[in-house]
Amino acid sequence: MLLAVDVGNTDVSFGIFDGDRLVTRFHFSVKAPRTSDEYGVLISSIINQKGLRIDSIDSAIVSSVVPKIMYSFRKGLIRYIGCDPIMVGAGVKTGLKIETINPRETGPDRIVDAVAAYELYGGPVIVIDYGTATTYDYVTEDGVFTGGVICPGMKISAKALWDDTANLPEIEIMATDKIISKETVGAMQAGLFYGNVGQSKYIINRMKQEAGVNNVRVVATGGLGKIVSENTKEIEVYDADLTLKGLQIIYEKQKR
């Protein structure tokens, strides 16, 4: 079985695949620094709690946007899982042609999402990931990754509100029925939610205009993407496991 790992700025997400079937998933925070032994024990104990044997995992692939933890993290996988993972980056086959000015600067998470969206839903496609940052990327019909847009994510925007203002409280991010609120918490929630809905609609339509195409699939992922996609007709598909599926697809390409 394959262990697919997406190391993000806030969480590490794991998926275990048997062939192309996602057997289970789990995640934990990356905010606390950990040693290789701590990473290894944590990962292996969760796998055991999921009812799976460590020795059933024979390969691993990792996409990471947090270089500072990767030495300890990779050592933990090698010692406790028994796999030296494929690291998504330069030299790894993706099936896409990357036409950014400096492909090495393009985040591996964006490439993984683009691979999954293109392979699973076809092109041309706009893929959106509502993570710590919200990213919008465009892949042409013949599989060319042309670039995209990076915006502050909803959690970053929310944190800025309560960290940088004296009287605004920490709130839960959620969809609201109305945009005009009579109290502060509701006003903040409406601002974050409808601000991102409006942002998504504008950027999707502007990307279509610049690309010169109308018939474009729009696929979203990321923890907060569900509430936006449910309220944005421009988004056709929400796939919570898109990044993990992309890692599995890229792994299979290396085997071939």
Q: Which residues are catalytic?
A: 109
Q: Which residues contact 4 (CB under 8 A, 6 or more apart)?
A: 14, 15, 16, 17, 60, 61, 244, 247, 248, 251
Q: How many CB atoms lie within 10 A of CB 41?
A: 15
- What's the rounded Cα separation, in Å, for the pair 238 and 200? 14
- What's the rounded Cα separation, in Å, for the pair 198 and 157? 15
CA 67 to chain centre: 16
How far is the CA of 40 from the CAs of 43, 52, 84, in angstroms?
5, 15, 13
- What's the rounded Cα separation, in Å, for the pair 174 and 217? 26
Residue 119 near residue 95, CB atoms below 8 Å = yes
Is residue 169 reached through a cis peptide bond, with omega within 30 degrees of 0 on the bond before it? no
- H-assigned helices in the chain: 36-49, 70-76, 108-121, 154-163, 184-211, 225-229, 242-255
Q: Which helix (H) or strand (E) holds 51?
A: none
Q: How many Å from the N-terminal Cα to the C-terminal Cα in the chain? A: 17
